[in-house]
Structure 1
Amino acid sequence: MRSATRPVSPSVGTADVSAARSASMVTAMSVTGHGNRPTVLTLMAAACALLVVGASVGFTSSTDDAREPVRRGASPFATPAKALDVVPASSPVGSALGTSRRLYRSAPVVVVAPSADPAAQGLAARAAEQLRAPMLLDGPDTAEEIARLQARRVLAVGAVRKLSDSVAVGATSSAVDAAVESARRAHRVPSPQANDVIVLTRSVTANLAAVTTARNAGATVLPVPDADPRSAPRAAQVLRDRPRTPVIALGTPFARSLGYTLSVVRDGATQPGGGYLLFRNRHLVALYGHPGSAALGVLGEQGVTKSVRRAKVVASRYARYTDRPVVPTFELIATIASAGAGRDKDYSAEASVKTLRPWVDAARKAGMYVILDLQPGRSDFLKQAKRYRSLLREPHVGLALDPEWRLKKEQKPLQQIGSVSIGEVNRTSDWLARLTRKYRLPQKAFVLHQFSTSMIRNRSRLVTTHPELATVVHVDGQGTQGEKMGTWKAIRRGLPDGVAFGWKNFYDEDKPIRSPRKTWAVRPRPDLITYQ
């Protein structure tokens, strides 16, 4: 527990890398029936190896795919009409259908494979690649798509139900080779083309049919495993290099936030130290306090220029332990719990934007991060956060809530430990997320200070799913190292997924203060380390 003598302010008045086909892939797939047969694993590996990692956009998610009539003699390949389109599929069957509908107007030959037979799918992908044909999986809507494509031959590889104009093909290399050769003699194979479209998929293997169709239509396919291009460096780079190329994303996991995350990577809205996500492969090391008031933390012990230098020195003590960026940070107390009620009777003195602006600007110029800390008294966090909207619009500025100083009516600072409802916390994070999304800002820190479980009521309902925010529970207990570790374990217990953690060292109250080496050894390793 922290000391009851924690000070309060007496009255603070303040190249194009699109889908070039792999020559080795074509060689591996062109088996003529002579010599050794490739194994199923080889076929699957070769099929998956087809992947080539190669302006603000509007977000559109289609729930009903367009089925336009096909004009004879027209190019079989389609160009997406939407800048951003999510295939609303929950399975590989749906992803394959959606990709075919978006990228093919027609096809003389279609290849179909069973939805639950990876070996047959690998052989089918080989056949589809050689014929530059769409590949579908057997499902309830497959026949309708074949009809739309006006296919005159269907190669059904493996245990596929009987389809119109289908040719049953055994799931063997020789059978597939013979079927491909027959189709080539009877039907013209479309000429290859580079289609200026990018297709995003969470899994190349799981979505093999859709990926094969996309590549055959000339699209660039990029893997984005967690449906967030900010976490896939290669995909992010390609998307940034091709800011006007239409994007098709496969599957409903992309639907919620791709409009925002795509705009971030295409705008190059990176964090101090590089990258798009705040705590992906980086740590923040912060000095805490209020300008001009040494009693409120170390930031008040010197001016802004010397504080920048001091923050960099403290951060450098951690940089020796990692190859990842360690970003020096200011945690500025923006609203300060006050012994006096003040004109608004809320026992919180709100610093002006003018007072904080030089610190925010100096941090930006120095490549640092800033967190604005709120001690709202009898006000509420959302109301106070909105006072600093202009500062929170800066790409390097996040927000911290300090429930210790959230008071009920008739309460005063230091007479009790304050608390906040989870509803107020979630309303504040919702507002900050909308602000971040509206201005296409990098992901922001959303920090919750806590040293007692009573400080945040119903914490299990904490919303941690905003892609715009990196939510941090900052464990800021003080005292002996044994007491601090006990608080660390207690506060981390029972939290929802998706939370990062912060640790605070107190220069005066900790007995003794933990060294950088021992702080770095805390597990799980803190993402945010603060000094007060």
Structure 2
Amino acid sequence: MKQNTIVSLLSFINRIGFTLLVSVVGLMMQSTNIQPVQNCGMNGSQVDSVQYLKRLQQLANNDTSGKWPVYPQPYPLKGAILPYKRIVAFYGNLYSKKMGVLGKYTPDELWEKLNEEVQNWEQADSLTPVQPALHYVAVVAQNNPMKDGQYRYRMPSNQIDSVLTIAQMGNAIVFLDIQPGHSTVNIEVPLLEAYLKMPNVHLGLDPEFSMKEGNVPGTVKGYVTAEDINFCTNYLSGLVKKYRLPPKVFVVHRFTQSMVRNCEQIQLYSEVQIVINMDGWGRPGLKKSTYRDFIYQEPVQFTGFKLFYINDLKQPPFRMMRPEEILELKPKPIYIQYQ
């Protein structure tokens, strides 16, 4: 069944109501491998279901495997960023020029460069507005233990406040990223509640530096489990309900099979939108294969793609991938990160 036929059916469903939803979706499943969306209800606080499903189909980019779009999944609450906008984020830490662009430039220079990337993506995909973002590593893994024995350093509040101030210069949202070291998300995420309860602040998690086996960060690749991710999404969901916030976006980095375990057990919520972000660097062919093997093959909800201003130029053909190339991927990434 072609996409325009699907959209027509969905528009018809929206007009006639929920009564015929099950029977019509059943026909769609037989022809398109689409599965019914669970927990959709008729909640007025949720987004328009027809438009949401239409955009999911567009992101799937004509994938015929049945993996994308991800069904079933709950409809998000109103105010959701995804899939209505593409997030384009600059990554890093204000203390380090090596961790990414956030620590490399002055605020004015940063915004000049970020606006250039925003324009590039708007030109490549004129149908999807861009939401600029600053992705700040708020908990940084260390190769030596802190006083409490944990191999991570929590950024002081004045540094996070500085990032929020820089974000306000261009109406950007902010991600606070956690590299747990020997700590856990159960400990680190609640400590950021003062910021996560803000409507413009979202969460990131870096499994590479989650050292569950006790290794020193950076010596081996770490990992997180579905249980870790579910703790984060459940916690964020609670904040959204408690403070009556728009949905949170939760970005989880990944570039190996073992970095995210038991993906099939990850739970989805109307209050949280999960992005699995392809975090590997290298030549275009390598990045595409990493995306295919570890993002495409294990669907969660939405996908992201990371670009490195330095590391992506270390291998032939010594260039970064262009937005037009990335938009050819299946599914199309809806979160783009620059380091």
Question: Normalising TM by the smaller chain, what interval?
Answer: 0.7 to 0.9
Does structure 1 residue 332 correspond to structure 2 residue 147? no
Indicate if the aligned counterparts of 2:134 and 2:173 stay in contact, CA closer than 8 A.
yes
Amino acid corresponding to residue 259 of structure 2 in structure 1: M
Pick closer, same or farther for the CA change 1:424–1:316 going to 2, 3 Å.
Answer: same
Displacement after TM superposition at 1:205 (Å):
5.7
Structure 1 residues 56-135: aligned runs within 5 Å: none
Structure 1 residues 13-412: aligned runs within 5 Å: 202-203=17-18, 227-229=42-44, 230-232=46-48, 261=77, 276-321=79-124, 322-364=126-168, 366-408=170-212, 410-412=214-216
Indicate if the aligned counterparts of 2:88 and 2:118 stay in contact, CA closer than 8 A.
yes
* Cα distance in 1 for residues equivalent to 2:107 and 2:237: 29
Tell me, what secondary structure is at the counterpart of 1:299? helix
Pick closer, same or farther for the CA change 1:475–1:438 going to 2, 3 Å.
Answer: same
1:476 alignment partner in structure 2: 279
Indicate if the aligned counterparts of 1:285 and 1:530 stay in contact, CA closer than 8 A.
yes
Indicate if the aligned counterparts of 1:462 and 1:496 stay in contact, CA closer than 8 A.
no
* Cα distance in 1 for residues equivalent to 2:136 and 2:171: 16
**Percent identity between the two aligned chains:** 26
Pick closer, same or farther for the CA change 1:234–1:504 going to 2, 3 Å.
Answer: closer
Does structure 1 residue 525 correspond to structure 2 residue 326? no
Tell me, what secondary structure is at the counterpart of 2:258? helix
Displacement after TM superposition at 1:314 (Å):
1.3
Pick closer, same or farther for the CA change 1:365–1:458 going to 2, 3 Å.
Answer: same
Indicate if the aligned counterparts of 1:292 and 1:301 stay in contact, CA closer than 8 A.
no
Tell me, what secondary structure is at the counterpart of 2:189? helix
Tell me, what secondary structure is at the counterpart of 1:372? strand
Displacement after TM superposition at 1:282 (Å):
1.1
Indicate if the aligned counterparts of 1:332 and 1:372 stay in contact, CA closer than 8 A.
yes
How many pairs does the alignment contain?
281
- TM-superposition CA deviations, 1:345-399 (whole Å, max 9, x none): 2111110222111212332452212111111100012311112111111111110
Amino acid corresponding to residue 504 of structure 1 in structure 2: K
* Cα distance in 1 for residues equivalent to 2:111 and 2:148: 33
Does structure 1 residue 413 correspond to structure 2 residue 220? no
* Cα distance in 1 for residues equivalent to 2:306 and 2:257: 17
* Cα distance in 2 for residues equivalent to 1:477 and 1:366: 28
Does structure 1 residue 509 correspond to structure 2 residue 311? yes
* Cα distance in 1 for residues equivalent to 2:199 and 2:169: 12
Displacement after TM superposition at 1:411 (Å):
0.9
Indicate if the aligned counterparts of 2:174 and 2:202 stay in contact, CA closer than 8 A.
yes
Amino acid corresponding to residue 283 of structure 2 in structure 1: T
- TM-superposition CA deviations, 1:252-309 (whole Å, max 9, x none): xxxxx99x94xxx5xxxxxxxxxx2221321011111001311111111013343233
Amino acid corresponding to residue 473 of structure 1 in structure 2: I
Amino acid corresponding to residue 308 of structure 2 in structure 1: F
Q: Which has the higher contact order (CA 8 A, sep 6+)?
A: 2
Pick closer, same or farther for the CA change 1:468–1:364 going to 2, 3 Å.
Answer: farther
Amino acid corresponding to residue 503 of structure 1 in structure 2: F
* Cα distance in 1 for residues equivalent to 2:324 and 2:136: 25
Amino acid corresponding to residue 505 of structure 1 in structure 2: L
Displacement after TM superposition at 1:456 (Å):
1.6
2:37 alignment partner in structure 1: none
Pick closer, same or farther for the CA change 1:290–1:430 going to 2, 3 Å.
Answer: same
Structure 2 gap segments, 5+ residues each: 1-11, 23-39, 52-73
Structure 1 residues 428-467: aligned runs within 5 Å: 428-464=232-268, 466-467=269-270
Tell me, what secondary structure is at the counterpart of 1:307? helix
- TM-superposition CA deviations, 1:469-503 (whole Å, max 9, x none): 11111011111211111111111245355x10000
Amino acid corresponding to residue 475 of structure 1 in structure 2: M
Displacement after TM superposition at 1:226 (Å):
6.4
Tell me, what secondary structure is at the counterpart of 2:231? helix
Indicate if the aligned counterparts of 2:296 and 2:331 stay in contact, CA closer than 8 A.
no
Displacement after TM superposition at 1:506 (Å):
1.0
Indicate if the aligned counterparts of 2:250 and 2:273 stay in contact, CA closer than 8 A.
yes
Amino acid corresponding to residue 525 of structure 1 in structure 2: K
Tell me, what secondary structure is at the counterpart of 2:113? helix
Does structure 1 residue 424 correspond to structure 2 residue 225? no
Tell me, what secondary structure is at the counterpart of 2:133? strand
* Cα distance in 2 for residues equivalent to 1:355 and 1:429: 25
Amino acid corresponding to residue 231 of structure 1 in structure 2: V
Indicate if the aligned counterparts of 1:318 and 1:520 stay in contact, CA closer than 8 A.
no
- TM-superposition CA deviations, 1:171-192 (whole Å, max 9, x none): xxxxxxxxxxxxxxxxxxxxxx
- Higher-Rg structure is 1
Indicate if the aligned counterparts of 2:296 and 2:330 stay in contact, CA closer than 8 A.
no
* Cα distance in 1 for residues equivalent to 2:321 and 2:303: 17
Indicate if the aligned counterparts of 1:353 and 1:391 stay in contact, CA closer than 8 A.
no
* Cα distance in 2 for residues equivalent to 1:313 and 1:496: 31
Tell me, what secondary structure is at the counterpart of 1:320? helix
Q: TM-score, normalised by structure 1?
A: 0.49
Please tell me the root mean square deviation across aligned C-alpha atoms, in Å.
Answer: 2.7
Tell me, what secondary structure is at the counterpart of 1:231? coil
Pick closer, same or farther for the CA change 1:309–1:392 going to 2, 3 Å.
Answer: farther
Pick closer, same or farther for the CA change 1:437–1:361 going to 2, 3 Å.
Answer: farther
Indicate if the aligned counterparts of 1:292 and 1:303 stay in contact, CA closer than 8 A.
no
Amino acid corresponding to residue 490 of structure 1 in structure 2: D
Pick closer, same or farther for the CA change 1:348–1:482 going to 2, 3 Å.
Answer: same
